[in-house]
């Protein structure tokens, strides 16, 4: 509720603003309509305010047809200063259309030449820009000769040529006009705008224009309409509203940036528009004729209900690439059983990725275009919740050349690589990725780990879906599961190797955080995804996390160990009860390893015995003489939740809360009853992982808190 | 990429059989699109190649059509399989393509305004232009233009020609690449203006949902071609065998190395042992010999340069993907090699 309130008031505010705008606009129009005779700009605040109002309104909402009439009359009458005329024309963006009467009046004023040449030029440019908004072009066409006569004026000539180019029809091409143009051409030399006009004449009547046109002119007209184009588009978009409601989601968020070069290229648009097959329309293929009446044209598919109603009579688009941006078609493609559409899509996608996006083969396209395309592909895979083998192949080929460009998109694509046999993944993905990982910055390492976590997550989800399927089909599980398990296990081992390496290189808490994030997922595979597999973190990850100076990481490690415990306990009970319907791949070695970790952890956090009790070969066991030589006299009590580097901040804080300032500072006094209080303090600070861990793994004698003996639940595979 | 050590041959190597079958055995989930067939993204260079055997071409194909292919420079493209292409609709295709070209030309984008508007496209089947019985038949496309101000009844001029073909394609690979409605004619040869190539290409993309990409030829493949072509006994237009090596220095420099055809033939017959296949080692050895010879005379290590062009009496090929066929007898064999390259190129 609290959040809604401001939003609603904001909305009301904007409504009020809009009302005010409309009122101002109306007043301005009334004022401007009554301008008769020259008006002086200087010190004329009313005028300036009104012009402001018009500008403001025009750029926001566009100018309605009747207002265009008024403003054009004013501008072309020459009553205002030139600068104001220019400002008015610049904001004269049609909200809907430009009517016939406006055009007639404006052109007659233009011909009367009441305004300056600059304003005339601006007006012509405006006409060219809004050409498509003029309702009755025949009227303009009937002014053809008027415009043509003005060609003599040098400064108007380029814009007039452009306008005439747009207006010219076959019967406009007359010998006298051709002569006139040739004459101008002879006078002024090769001018692109004249050539442009001549070229269209030549298309209509080649026999009249004997001139050979040089081929090097690619564009005849300077961008006369640059001033307005963006605004025009903006307003058209705004006024059109949200054309088709909810279902017109476009997957690539950014509009595809098309190259504006006029050079005709192959594959100039990486994403083809949706079109029905061109064969559907004509009587081309005999077998299509029968079904022709019933097919639903794919261009008309706009909403999900339409898809549902017509799913049996849809035909795939002529170019499969066009489905990429259309969620509806993706839905449709996803339920087709036939191979061919996938083959077509994959060919197209593989082709486009390799030909257009392979940055290492020399840049054919701009970075933005490539990124927009990669993003569309990534969004499509996200939408379908699976990776296509064409993207996979593209990744395998380009990863050895990867220099980190288009980082987020490539990493996105990596996370959707379909599961394949380990040997292949090792060669194609793990090797190149490991090379990149080692030589990159800590931030890049974090992103790679994040993407690998997403990959693992996707695999686990696929697995849980396929398990359901296998259950329903009741096929032999043991045979089908082994390959999958090996792949998942190898991926986790690979992540473990990378993490160990990364932590050795950087000793970074941030990196550790990303690593532990992955193990949070790994620790829960059995319970959450019913994958009969438990893989523990390597010592290279476990010990840095245990001895981390960052309490967030320590807390997360506690939570992870708690989840491992839950998973192992569940696995064991299931195994006893169900008697191996599902063969467990959890080796007794895993239990032993877990117990070693657990001992180290309890020693480190609870009993201060970590250096004595740790039995892990790569652990932190230290000989007594070494500990003595450290000079810490109470080393037997000096490493627990009070002294742990990640928690010492809390203990100091707690100490100051409990004891008065003047008492001698001795952390050793946190024990006994205070120990329990300290624990509660820690829990209250949001260390929930620690809480879960201690409550599950440290069996305390509730009444006698002095006894700090951990009775850890050592699970041993008997 | 390494060649397999145990030297298993045939193009079958570079694409495993339908993966989906393997998947069922190993239990990888097959869901949705991923279950569509896939092939390994990397293929190994074969360590030996068969010398294709074929009956003389003139018996199966109209010699006039063959003459159209010879002694012209062709630019090579690879094409992904075409959807719903049918040999029975060629007339209709020709009509639509002609209309498409005319429309494109009149768009005002084309620069040559007013010229060559009377264009016509023709499709002619070349069913005999195939290496094996199971190869799909080739298609020749020509764009004809009526010259301006020409007398009535004057012959149309061929301004552009293109040829889709597929010779000696490996059956299993083709099977893997295609389906009922997909036809694979992976090699596309083009002779003519690039603007027209783009128009025809765009039309094919729209009509058959296929994609075209340039088909460059690597130095390694050029070397293979040189060796294999040396082995062919050409009977007409015997010319010197010429290699062009590009020296990787600035400013750019090329070394041309021409050898009398009899000499290189003698050298090759000493190296080449087998009857119906050529081994990678033999190709290496041939070039080793040439390099040694060159070094003895000029003290230049050709092995440090790039082979960019090969021309023999059979055909000539440039690494940019440009080819000229010189011998009618061995046209199919040359096309066979190019088909293999094209198929490799579309297995992205």
Return the pLDDT at A215: 58
Looking at the fold, whether B65 and B204 belong to one and the same domain comes out as yes
Which range of residues forms the domain containing residue B238? 219-319
In a domain, B12, yes or no: no
Share of chain A above pLDDT 90, in %: 21
Q: Are A356 and A267 in contact (CB under 8 A)?
A: yes
Least confident of A546-550, A660-664, B245-249, B313-317: A660-664
Q: How far out from the chain centre does Cα A388 lie?
A: 19
- Check CB contact under 8 Å for A265 and B198: yes
Cβ–Cβ < 8 Å for B80, B211: yes
What pLDDT digit, counting tens, does each position of A561-584 carry?
999 999 999 888 887 776 545 555
CA dist., res. A459 & res. A463, Å (int): 6
Residue A263 has what pLDDT? 34
- pTM (predicted TM-score): 0.68
Model pLDDT for residues A131-189, shown as the tens digit of each residue = 877 877 777 888 888 888 888 888 888 888 888 888 888 888 888 888 888 888 888 87
**A497 by DSSP, 3-state: which?**
helix
Mean pLDDT of B251-263: 93
- A433, pLDDT greater than 80: yes
Residue B20 lies in a domain: no
Considering only residues A228 and A114, tell me which one the structure prediction assigns the higher pLDDT: A114
Question: Which pLDDT value is given to residue A590?
Answer: 87
Give residue A313's pLDDT.
83
How confident is the model at residue A294, as a pLDDT? Answer: 67
More confident residue, A121 or B172: A121
Q: What are the residue ranges of helices labelled H in A340-429?
A: 340-352, 367-384, 389-398, 407-414, 422-425
Q: Distances from the Cα of B1 to the Cαs of A351, A428, B46, B109, B149, in angstroms?
A: 21, 12, 11, 45, 58
Same domain, B250 and B135: no
Q: What is the pLDDT of residue A79?
A: 83
Q: Average pLDDT for residues A53-76, to the nearest whole number?
A: 84
Q: Predicted ipTM?
A: 0.83
pLDDT band, residue B28 (cuts 50/70/90): very low
B182 within 8 A of B82, measured Cβ to Cβ = yes
- Contacts of A120 by beta carbon, 8 Å cutoff, 6+ apart: A110, A113, A156
Tell which residue, A228, A223, A222, has the closest CA to residue A88: A228
Give the chain A residue whose CA is nearest to the CA of B29: A466
User: Is B295 near chain A, with CB under 8 Å?
Assistant: no
Query: How far is A183 from A211, CA to CA, in rounded Å?
Result: 12
Instruction: Return the HEC string of B227-283.
Output: HHHHHCCCCCCCCCEEEEEEECCCCCEEEEEEECHHHHHHHHHHHCCCCCEEEHHHH
- Regarding whether B210 and B223 lie in a shared domain, the answer is no
Find, among A495, A512, A406, the residue nearest to A452 by Cα. Answer: A495
pLDDT(B103) > 90: no
Lowest mean pLDDT among A209-218, A357-366, A677-686, B263-272: A209-218
**Interchain pair A389, B36: CB under 8 A:** yes
What's the total number of domains in chain B?
Answer: 2
Rounded Cα distance, B167 and B93, in Å: 23
Looking at the fold, whether B116 and B252 belong to one and the same domain comes out as no
The answer to whether the Cβ–Cβ distance between B33 and A386 falls below 8 Å is yes
- Give the pLDDT score at A246: 29
Q: Worst-scoring range by mean pLDDT, A9-18, A441-450, A602-611, A664-673?
A: A9-18
Give B73→chain A minimum CA distance, Å: 21
Chain B residues lying within 8 Å of A199, measured CB to CB: 108, 113
* Separation of alpha carbons A641 and A610, rounded Å: 12
* Residue A384 sits at the chain B interface (C-beta within 8 Å): yes
CA–CA separation, B146 and A180 (whole Å): 32
Tens digits of per-residue pLDDT, B229-241?
A: 998 888 878 889 9
> In Å, how far is B271's CA from the nearest CA of chain A?
36
Tokens of A372: 């927009």
Q: How far apart are CA B101 and CA B202, in angstroms?
A: 10
Cβ distance of A354 and B348 shorter than 8 Å: yes
Residue B109: predicted pLDDT: 46
Q: Where are the alpha helices (DSSP H) in A152-225?
A: 157-167, 175-188, 192-204
Give me chain A's average pLDDT, please: 79
Whether residue B19 lies inside any domain: the answer is no
* B139 three-class SS: strand
CB contact under 8 A, A264 and B31: no
* pLDDT computed for residue B236 by the predictor: 78
CA separation for the pair A324, A251 (Å, rounded): 8
Residue B48 included in any domain: no
Residue A495 pLDDT: 96
Banded model confidence at residue A700, pLDDT cuts 50, 70, 90: low
Cβ–Cβ of A319/B36 closer than 8 Å? no
The vertex-A575 CA angle with A573 and A580, nearest 5°, equals 160
Q: How confident is the model at residue A247 (pLDDT cuts 50, 70, 90)?
A: very low
pLDDT of the residue at A363: 63
Is a pLDDT exceeding 60 seen at residue A670?
yes
CB contacts < 8 A (A, B): 153
Which residues, numbered 153 to 172 in chain A, qualify as contacts with chain B under a Cβ-Cβ cut-off of 8 Å? none
DSSP H helical ranges for A143-174: 144-149, 157-167
Residue A285 has pLDDT above 50, yes or no: no
The pLDDT of residue A244 is 32
Euclidean distance between CA atoms A99 and A88, whole angstroms:
18
Closest CA to B18 of B6, B10, B30: B30
- pLDDT above 50: residue A195: yes
Statement: residue B254 has pLDDT above 90: yes
Is the pLDDT at B19 greater than 50? The verdict is no
Tracing tokens 């406006």 back to the chain, one arrives at A102
What pLDDT, on a 0 to 100 scale, did the predictor assign at position A134? 80
CA atoms of A696 and A65, how far apart (whole Å): 76
User: Can you tell me the mean pLDDT for A604-620?
Assistant: 83
Q: What is the pLDDT of residue B317?
A: 96
B160 and B245 part of one domain: no
Q: Same structural domain for residues B180 and B247?
A: no
CA distance A463 to A11: 47
Q: Does B52 touch chain A (CB under 8 A)?
A: no
Picking from A316-325, A397-406, A472-481, B203-212, which range would have the lowest pLDDT averaged per residue? Answer: A472-481
Q: What is the pLDDT of residues A413-426, one digit of tens each?
A: 999 998 888 888 88
A337 has pLDDT over 80: no
Beta bridge partners of B310: B243, B317
Neighbour count for residue A444 (Cβ, 10 Å): 15
Checking if the pLDDT of B123 tops 50, the result is yes
DSSP A46-98: HHHHHHHHHHHHHHHH-B-HHHHHHHHHHHHHT-S-HHHHHHHHHT--BSS-B
Which residues, at least 6 apart from B168, have a Cβ–Cβ distance to it below 8 Å?
Answer: B52, B131, B132, B135, B332, B333, B335, B336, B339, B340
Asked if B41 lies within 8 A of A278 by C-beta distance, the reply is no
Per residue in A502-544, pLDDT tens? 999 998 999 999 999 999 999 999 899 888 889 999 999 999 9
Q: Is residue B261 domain-shared with residue B301, that is, in the same domain? A: yes
Of A233-247, A308-322, A541-555, highest mean pLDDT:
A541-555
| A334, two tokens | 């996803």
- Taking the C-alpha atoms of residue A210 and residue A689, their distance in angstroms, rounded to an integer, is 87
Q: What is the largest CA-CA distance in chain B?
A: 72
CATH 3.30.70 fits A16-204, yes or no: no
In a domain, B341, yes or no: no
What per-residue confidence (pLDDT) applies to A259? Answer: 33
Name the segment(s) of chain A with CATH classification 1.25.10.
Answer: 16-204
Is the confidence at residue A681, as pLDDT, over 80?
yes
The answer to the question of residue B181 being in a domain is yes
Least confident of A80-84, A194-198, A568-572, A662-666: A662-666
Higher per-residue confidence, B1 vs B169: B169
Tell whether B84 lies on the interface with A, counting CB pairs under 8 A. Answer: yes
Q: What is the largest CA-CA distance in chain A?
A: 115
In this prediction, residues B273-281 reach a mean pLDDT of 88
Question: What DSSP string runs through A520-581?
Answer: HHHHTHHHHH--S---PPPHHHHHHHHT-S-HHHHHHHHHHHHHHHHHHHHHHHHHHHH-SS
Residue B102 CA to residue B106 CA, distance in Å, equals 6
Q: Which uninterrupted H or E stretch holds B162?
A: strand B157-165
Q: What band does A257 get if pLDDT is binned at 50, 70 and 90?
A: very low
- Res. B44 pLDDT band, cuts 50 70 90: low
Rounded CA-CA distance A585/A595 in Å is: 18
Mean pLDDT of B6-15: 33
B334 touches A: beta carbon within 8 Å: no
Say which range, A3-7, A403-407, A622-626, has the weakest mean pLDDT.
A3-7
Q: Which of A254-263, A580-589, A663-672 has the lowest mean pLDDT?
A: A254-263
pLDDT tops 60 at residue A391: yes
CA-CA distance, B284 to B282, in Å (whole number)?
5
B218 vs A: CB within 8 A: no
Instruction: Report the C-alpha dihedral over residues B82, B83, B88, B94, rounded to 10 degrees.
Output: -70
List the single residue in B28, B89, B114 with the smallest CB-CB distance to A484: B28
Domain-embedded: residue B194: yes
> Considering the domain boundaries, does residue B283 fall inside one?
yes
């Amino acid at each position: 509720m609290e959040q809604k309130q401001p939003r609603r008031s904001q909305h009301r505010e904007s409504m009020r603003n809009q009302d005010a705008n409309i009122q101002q606009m109306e007043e301005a129009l009334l004022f401007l309509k009554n301008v008769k005779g020259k008006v002086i700009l200087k010190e004329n605040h009313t005028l300036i305010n009104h012009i402001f109002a018009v500008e403001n309104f025009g750029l926001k909402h566009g100018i309605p047809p009747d207002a265009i009439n008024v403003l054009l009359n004013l501008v072309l009458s020459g009553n205002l200063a030139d600068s104001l005329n220019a400002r008015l024309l610049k904001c004269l963006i049609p909200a809907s259309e430009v009517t016939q009467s406006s055009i007639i009046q404006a052109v007659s004023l233009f011909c009367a030449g009441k305004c300056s040449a600059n304003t005339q030029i601006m007006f012509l440019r405006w006409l060219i820009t809004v050409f498509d908004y003029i309702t009755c072009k025949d009227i303009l066409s009937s002014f053809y000769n008027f415009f043509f006569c003005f060609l003599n004026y040098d400064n108007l000539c380029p814009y007039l040529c452009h306008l005439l180019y747009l207006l010219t029809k076959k019967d406009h091409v007359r010998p006298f006009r051709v002569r006139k143009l040739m004459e101008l051409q002879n006078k002024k030399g090769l001018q692109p705008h004249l050539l442009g006009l001549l070229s269209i004449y030549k298309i209509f009547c080649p026999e009249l224009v004997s001139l050979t046109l040089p081929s090097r002119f690619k564009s005849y007209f300077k961008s006369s309409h640059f001033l307005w184009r963006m605004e025009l588009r903006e307003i058209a978009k705004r006024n059109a509203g949200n054309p088709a409601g909810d279902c017109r989601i476009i997957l690539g968020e950014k509009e595809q940036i098309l190259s504006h070069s006029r050079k005709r290229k192959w594959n100039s648009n990486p994403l083809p528009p949706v079109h029905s097959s061109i064969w559907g329309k004509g009587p081309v293929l005999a077998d299509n004729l029968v079904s022709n009446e019933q097919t639903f044209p794919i261009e008309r598919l706009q909403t999900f209900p339409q898809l549902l109603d017509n799913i049996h009579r849809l035909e795939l688009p002529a170019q499969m690439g066009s489905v990429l941006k259309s969620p509806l078609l993706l839905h449709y493609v996803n339920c087709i059983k036939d191979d061919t559409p996938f083959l077509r899509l994959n060919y197209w996608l593989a082709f486009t990725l390799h030909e257009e996006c392979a940055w290492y083969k020399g840049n054919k396209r701009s970075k933005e275009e490539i990124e927009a395309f990669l993003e569309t592909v990534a969004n499509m895979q996200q939408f379908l919740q699976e990776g296509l083998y064409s993207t996979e192949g593209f990744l395998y080929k380009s990863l050895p050349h990867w220099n980190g460009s288009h980082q987020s998109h490539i990493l996105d694509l990596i996370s959707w690589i379909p599961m394949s046999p380990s040997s292949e993944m090792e060669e194609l993905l793990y090797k190149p990725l490991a090379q990149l990982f080692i030589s990159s910055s800590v931030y890049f390492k974090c992103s790679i780990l994040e993407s690998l976590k997403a990959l693992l997550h996707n695999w686990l989800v696929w697995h849980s879906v396929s398990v359901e399927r296998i259950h329903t089909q009741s096929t032999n599980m043991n045979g089908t599961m082994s390959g999958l398990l090996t792949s998942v296990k190898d991926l986790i081992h690979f992540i473990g190797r990378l993490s160990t390496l990364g932590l050795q290189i950087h000793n970074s808490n941030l990196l550790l955080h990303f690593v532990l994030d992955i193990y949070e997922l790994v620790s829960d595979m059995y319970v959450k995804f019913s994958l009969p597999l438990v893989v523990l973190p390597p010592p290279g990850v476990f010990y840095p996390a245990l001895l981390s100076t960052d309490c967030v990481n320590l807390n997360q490690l506690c939570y992870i160990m708690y989840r491992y415990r839950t998973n192992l306990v569940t696995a064991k009970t299931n195994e006893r009860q169900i008697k191996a319907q599902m063969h467990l791949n959890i080796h007794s070695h895993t239990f032993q390893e877990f117990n070693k970790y657990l001992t180290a952890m309890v020693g480190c956090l609870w009993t201060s015995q970590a250096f004595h009790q740790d039995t892990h070969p790569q652990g932190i066991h230290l000989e007594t003489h070494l500990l003595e030589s450290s000079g810490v006299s109470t080393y037997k009590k000096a490493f627990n939740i009070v002294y742990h580097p990640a928690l010492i901040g809390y203990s100091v804080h707690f100490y100051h809360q409990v004891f008065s300032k003047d008492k001698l500072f001795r952390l050793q006094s946190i024990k006994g009853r205070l120990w329990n209080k300290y624990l509660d303090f820690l829990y209250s600070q949001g260390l929930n992982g620690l809480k879960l861990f201690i409550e599950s793994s440290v069996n305390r004698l509730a009444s006698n808190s002095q006894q700090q003996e951990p009775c850890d639940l050592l699970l041993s595979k008997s | 990429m390494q060649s397999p050590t145990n030297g298993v041959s045939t193009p079958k190597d570079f694409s495993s059989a339908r993966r989906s079958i393997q998947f069922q055995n190993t239990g990888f989930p097959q869901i949705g699109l991923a279950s569509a067939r896939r092939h390994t993204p990397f293929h190994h260079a074969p360590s030996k190649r068969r010398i294709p055997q074929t009956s003389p071409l003139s018996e199966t194909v109209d010699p006039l059509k063959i003459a159209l292919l010879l002694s012209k420079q062709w630019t090579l493209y690879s094409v992904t399989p075409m959807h719903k292409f049918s040999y029975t609709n060629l007339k209709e295709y020709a009509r639509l393509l002609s209309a498409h070209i005319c429309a494109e030309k009149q768009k005002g984008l084309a620069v040559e305004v007013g010229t060559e508007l009377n264009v016509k496209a023709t499709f002619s089947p070349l069913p005999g232009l195939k290496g094996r019985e199971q190869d799909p038949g080739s298609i020749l496309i020509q764009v004809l233009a009526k010259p301006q101000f020409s007398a009535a009844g004057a012959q149309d001029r061929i301004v552009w020609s293109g040829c889709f073909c597929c010779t000696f394609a490996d059956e299993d690979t083709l099977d893997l690449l295609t389906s009922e409605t997909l036809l694979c004619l992976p090699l596309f040869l083009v002779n003519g203006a690039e603007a027209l190539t783009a128009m025809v290409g765009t039309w094919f993309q729209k009509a058959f949902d296929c994609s075209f990409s340039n088909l460059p030829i690597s130095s390694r493949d050029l070397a293979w071609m040189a060796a294999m072509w040396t082995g062919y006994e050409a009977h007409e237009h015997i010319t010197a065998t010429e290699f062009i090596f590009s020296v990787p220095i600035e400013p750019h420099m090329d070394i041309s190395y021409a050898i009398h055809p009899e000499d290189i033939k003698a050298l090759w017959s000493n190296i080449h042992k087998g009857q119906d296949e050529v081994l990678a080692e033999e190709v290496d050895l041939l070039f080793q010999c040439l390099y040694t010879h060159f070094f003895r005379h000029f003290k230049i290590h050709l092995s440090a340069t790039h082979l960019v062009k090969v021309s023999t009496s059979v055909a000539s090929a440039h690494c940019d993907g440009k080819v000229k066929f010189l011998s009618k007898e061995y046209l199919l064999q040359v096309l066979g090699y190019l088909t293999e390259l094209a198929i490799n190129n579309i297995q992205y």
